[in-house]
Structure 1
Amino acid sequence: MRMAYDLRHKDWYAWMKENNQPAFRADQMMDWLYQKRVSSFADMSNLPKKMRETLSEQFRLEPLKTLTQQTSSDGTIKFLFALHDGHAIETVLMRHNYGISVCVTTQVGCRVGCTFCASTLGGLKRNLTAGEIVAQVMKAQIALDEIGEERVKSIVIMGIGEPFENYEATLQFLRIMNEEHGLHIGQRHITVSTSGIVPAIYRFADEKLQVGLAISLHAPNQELRKSLMPVSYRHPLSELMEACHYYIETTGRRLTFEYLLIKDRNDQDQHAHQLGQLLSNLNCYVNLIPINTVVERDMERTPRNQIFQFQRIVESYGIKATIRREHGTDIDAACGQLRAKHLDKKSEQPS
């Protein structure tokens, strides 16, 4: 059964036509879903009863059930949602000085296998549909509605999974979020993060979207990157950099490179110099990320003074480097960590 959130406005228009309904019903559907944010087709009071029954037979409106909700002292909220088939995913709501952002998940688990990430524990189970990704934003927005707060202003696709290995659903999600009849979140307020799926970077560049692109780099040379990110065996750093050049030349947009700092692994002065040399001729900036502790991975955070030293060296190459503001450090902040705990608890239950 499809999700109601899987459809764009034009898809609802086509559905109305197929079901002998006037075109304006598509506007009404979008209004109920994204403005009134109802949780039942029965609540769509200005739609004919027969049509509401048909919708209930053909679509699922509430694909997510909240299993756990953690709230940090800084206002960050981390949700653990159950899907209709029992799988669990994470979504994070973050508060910034420029507004509220939601970080969404695109897959149940991940097959990329980054050695520092809890998301990949247990491997990939399945892709999410576009509607299941949309539903995460809607559940976060409804949580904001309940406490009388503002609307979601921006989205980052940086949760569990590799978005570019679920390309079509991710692209549909982007278009739904940008719909004038939906939440109407501007493309420039959305960022997609990839571990470096090279063919998809070329494809995404050719879409000519205004959506931001972030590359999870985390190492300045091929050998180190292979040890941290096995995706580098499939898509070597040299090929990734060629794709990055193509993206910038094709779109005219600046790239973000995410660099996770891990004590004694990739945070030494020599690594900072290598990173500066690697990126010095690109229109980009670097987002330095002190690692969140993941007990399953036995990796430690870079000392504060070394973080600033690393930043200074990178910026000496004319590259803007920022240190990511931390969110939710007093809850299960690392991506996939809350889900991993949930899976551990399930495995401990008697069969």
Structure 2
Amino acid sequence: MIASAAKNIRHLSLNELENFFILMGEKKFRARQVWEWIWQKKAQSFADMTNLSKDLRQKLGEHFSLPALTIHTSQHSADGTIKTGFVTHEGHLCEGVLIPTDTRNTACVSSQIGCSLSCKFCATGYIDRKRNLDYDEIYDEVVLLNEQAEKAYGKKLSNIVFMGMGEPLLNYKNVLKAIERITAEDGLAMSPRRITVSTAGVAKMIKQLGDDEVRFKLALSLHAANDAKRNEIMPINESNNLKALIEALNYFHKKTKNEITLEYILFKDFNDSLKDADDLIKVYRQVPADLVNIIEYNPIDLATFEKPSEEKTNAFMAYLEKNKVNARLRRSRGKDIDAACGQLANKQQQPLSS
């Protein structure tokens, strides 16, 4: 489908929409009706706006576009996880994951089509970044995953994590605007405390989150707790080293008092020794982190990393516990459909257009 040259109606503020209707000689309240359709009733087209006249819907179509994200494919894991491929109006693909448990339904959403950071263990890191997702497209991901949650499990989403494809802090404005709409009373009205943004570590933008006094949680994808090893697997560390990140996280917490989590994937014979655990403890003690998530590694075709043995993993966890680190071992979900942490790569899908 070819993108329309008309302005995306969801990129207008309510005030701008009201001004449009006034200039058209229409009643101002029509703007509020359209606003409800595009943000709360989730209209896919102007034709869906049934409380507007046919003539008015036609005028809207002449002036604006409404390029909604749509579902391309969905895959269901044996453990209940659902991975969905979304397609944009011009044919690009991104992925999102619905992760159900007994107590919550979590949406893992993407912020970019591809990624520019090239982390060695992450499938998305081997895909070129095509573009950032617009805030309304991120919003659509959440809406569609919420519909899946209600249909499959009878419950709405309880949590959102920005841990899908892309680096959220390199799409800063769209991610914050998406969260604004997700948490707005005239949006999805979700509490920001139930949203976590995960970053590979962009120190400048972590500080910006503090300056903007955001209300959501922050997770740092650490994965190695010394600069030499982190440089090896995460090239971003060369320009955003641990000292800079520790300073930025402390600044963020001082400004917001929001919860911070450290994410640490265990790789066999790379970062799984007790010496590595000591390095992690040193970082943990310099950061106001509430939790360290120790994550099982999920293999991908393009990398040679392996998952440590259960014995090695248990020894690592026991050492952290002995040293008073609040750590949790996070078992992976959706591995059988490549939906687990680090596996999102549009593996079985190709863009509909270049």
Does the 8 A contact of 2:294 with 2:328 survive in 1? yes
Deviates more, 1:109-118 or 1:246-255: 246-255
Does residue 92 of structure 1 match 2:97? yes
**TM-fit CA distance, 1:254:** 2.8
Deviates more, 1:79-88 or 1:193-202: 79-88
Deviates more, 1:321-330 or 1:258-267: 321-330
How many Å separate the matches in 2 of 1:227 and 1:331?
Answer: 28
Does residue 323 of structure 1 match 2:325? no
Does the 8 A contact of 1:13 with 1:23 survive in 2? no
How many Å separate the matches in 2 of 1:95 and 1:197?
Answer: 30
Does the 8 A contact of 2:108 with 2:161 survive in 1? yes
Partner of 2:3: none
**TM-fit CA distance, 1:99:** 2.0
**TM-fit CA distance, 1:148:** 7.3
Q: Pick from 310, 326, 332 the counterpart of residue 338 of structure 2.
A: 332
Q: Pick from 103, 106, 111 the counterpart of residue 108 of structure 2.
A: 103
Partner of 1:15: 17
Partner of 1:273: 278
The letter of the residue matching 2:293 is: N
Does residue 311 of structure 1 match 2:311? no
**TM-fit CA distance, 1:63:** 2.8
Does the 8 A contact of 1:76 with 1:327 survive in 2? yes
Does residue 142 of structure 1 match 2:147? yes
**TM-fit CA distance, 1:30:** 4.2
TM-score, normalised to structure 1, is 0.90
Does residue 302 of structure 1 match 2:304? no
TM-score, normalised to structure 2, is 0.90
The letter of the residue matching 1:213 is: L
The letter of the residue matching 1:18 is: F
The Cα offsets for residues 63-114 of structure 1, whole Å up to 9 and x where unpaired, read as 3232221011222110112212221100111113332111111111111110
Does the 8 A contact of 2:227 with 2:241 survive in 1? yes
Q: Pick from 187, 200, 222 the counterpart of residue 205 of structure 2.
A: 200
Does residue 79 of structure 1 match 2:87? no
**TM-fit CA distance, 1:279:** 1.2
Instruction: Sort the Cα spacing of 1:31 and 1:15 in 2 relative to 1 into closer, same or farther, 3 A.
Output: closer
Instruction: Sort the Cα spacing of 1:105 and 1:324 in 2 relative to 1 into closer, same or farther, 3 A.
Output: same
How many Å separate the matches in 1 of 2:17 and 2:219?
Answer: 35
Q: How does 1:161-240 map to 2 (within 5 A)?
A: 161-240=166-245
The Cα offsets for residues 155-209 of structure 1, whole Å up to 9 and x where unpaired, read as 1111100011111111100101011011111100111011100110000011112
How many Å separate the matches in 2 of 1:278 and 1:192?
Answer: 20
How many Å separate the matches in 2 of 1:302 and 1:81?
Answer: 33
**TM-fit CA distance, 1:44:** 1.3
The Cα offsets for residues 245-302 of structure 1, whole Å up to 9 and x where unpaired, read as 1112221223101101111111111101110122124321101111111121121112
Which segments of 5 or more consecutive residues in structure 2 lack a partner in the other structure? Answer: 1-5
**Once superposed, what is the RMSD of the aligned Cα atoms?**
2.3
Does the 8 A contact of 2:21 with 2:31 survive in 1? no
Does residue 32 of structure 1 match 2:34? no
Which segments of 5 or more consecutive residues in structure 1 lack a partner in the other structure? Answer: none
The letter of the residue matching 2:266 is: L
The letter of the residue matching 2:349 is: H
Among all aligned residue pairs of Structure 1 and Structure 2, give the percentage whose two residues are the same amino acid. 35
Q: Pick from 34, 46, 50 the counterpart of residue 45 of structure 1.
A: 50
Partner of 1:112: 117
The letter of the residue matching 1:79 is: T
Deviates more, 1:122-131 or 1:185-194: 122-131
**TM-fit CA distance, 1:35:** 4.1
- 3-state SS of paired residue (1:215): strand
How many Å separate the matches in 2 of 1:231 and 1:342?
Answer: 28
